[in-house]
Amino acid sequence: MAAEDYRPSRRQVLAGLAAGVMTGCPSAFAAGDREALRAIAAARGILFGSTIAAAQIRADDDFLDLVRRECAALVTENELKWGNICDAPGEYDFAGADAIVDFASANGLAMRGHTLLWYYRTPRWFRELPNAAAAERAMLDHIAAVAGRYRGRMRIWDVVNEPIEPAHGRADGLRGAIFADKIGPHYLDLAFHAARDADPTARLLLNEYGVEYDSVADDAKRRVILRHLERLKREGVPVEILGIQGHLEIGAKPFSARKLRDFIATVAAMGIEIAVTELDVVDAAAPGDIARRDQIVADEYRRFLEVMLDEPATRTVFTWGLSDRHSWIVRHESGENTWRTDGTVSRPLPFDAALAPKPAWASLAERLAGASRRF
Ligand code: XIL
């Protein structure tokens, strides 16, 4: 029986979990016995995916086998960020992104393009453009070029990444640097319309972080996001999905299931779908002991996903990496405060560096299995 055809019941999945992860018995993790995350998710109408890098495709090792086994969709980790692919106006290097998109189609995987705009990866030359008109033109040309190149090949496009930042003090709550300041607040509307024009079939996503926990800053961001989404919907701007990154962190902030639940329910009531777009867990504050640490990380996955997947509008889950072998946290590309200080390696993802499933995998499998059918 093909893996895709096998649809375990919730009871079967949970029984498998109890036999395996909970008792720490590694044999229960043998790939043959373990239901693939993509299949557990697909049986509920949920798309499960993870990041990929062109170098990982070139390496073509056992990690890639795991990706093919577990994922129904891939997202470009870095290969489409404007500042990474465009050193001069109109001059693009699409080699990495092409390799990823080709790999996805050769393996029947859906693609999510990440990301057309992100303040943090904007080319230097864009920052130096002389005025708003030139910046607006450059932004529109960029979206037309990139979304146009992959027209019909992206299931989802992250159109704008991290556009909201109330702490910047603008009355509209938009992140100041760089697009709102350089072009004006209407850049958001223009970007989504331009993405729609360039690729009529991609689902268009607005991606944010800093809404997962219970802090004053998270409260403010949630409020401002709702305000913007309401307006964008009212004015016919094609925002179809709100992406919640889900970079979770042990011990950093309190968590309120109620606030998160209310927030995504309000978004869903606007007719906007929800995606978890970049799930991983910073374990810097967790104990060094691996078994205890993995359990704490798994608990963080569970309580977040419990809320997120309880909402039927959540139809997409991406982790930001699949195995601890390839993670921006392990590579120390995230903030210094997220690095472990005891000399041990971080363990943020569902599979360990040897590609064995961890308790975080069990949380993910269990919450996906417990989700209601979306179709
Ligand atoms: C990260 C990548 O994972 C790193 O490899 C890179 O050095 C920096 O960017 N939020 C996002 C992602 O939306 O694009 C970021 O990805 C992680 C935080």
pLDDT at 32: 65
CB 133 within 8 A of CB 141: no
Taking 50 as the pLDDT cut, the residues of the chain under it are 1-13, 15, 18-29
120 C-alpha vs ligand 1 centroid, how far in Å?
Answer: 9
The count of other CB atoms within 10 Å of the CB of residue 254 is 10
Strand 156-161 to 110-113 pairing: parallel
pTM of the model: 0.93
Dist. CA 78 → ligand 1 center (Å): 7
At 173-203, the pLDDT tens digits run 999 989 999 999 999 999 999 999 999 999 9
Mutate to test the pocket of ligand 1, among 50, 74, 77 (most ligand atoms within 8 A of CB): 77
Q: Within 6 Å (CB) of ligand 1, which residues are found?
A: 77-78, 161, 245, 278, 328, 333
CA–centroid distance, 80 to ligand 1, in Å, is 11
Cα within 13 Å of Cα(330), Cβ side: 17
Which of 320, 326, 331, when mutated, tests ligand 1's pocket best, judged by the most ligand atoms within 8 Å of its CB? 320
Quick: pLDDT tens for 254-312.
Answer: 999 999 999 999 999 999 999 999 999 999 999 999 999 999 999 999 999 999 999 99
Question: Which amino acid type is present at position 188?
Answer: L
Q: What angle do CA 51, 52, 58 make, to 5 degrees?
A: 170
pLDDT value at residue 30: 53
Å from CA of 287 to ligand 1 middle: 25
The pLDDT, as a whole number, for residue 27 is 40
285 within 8 A of 293, measured Cβ to Cβ: no
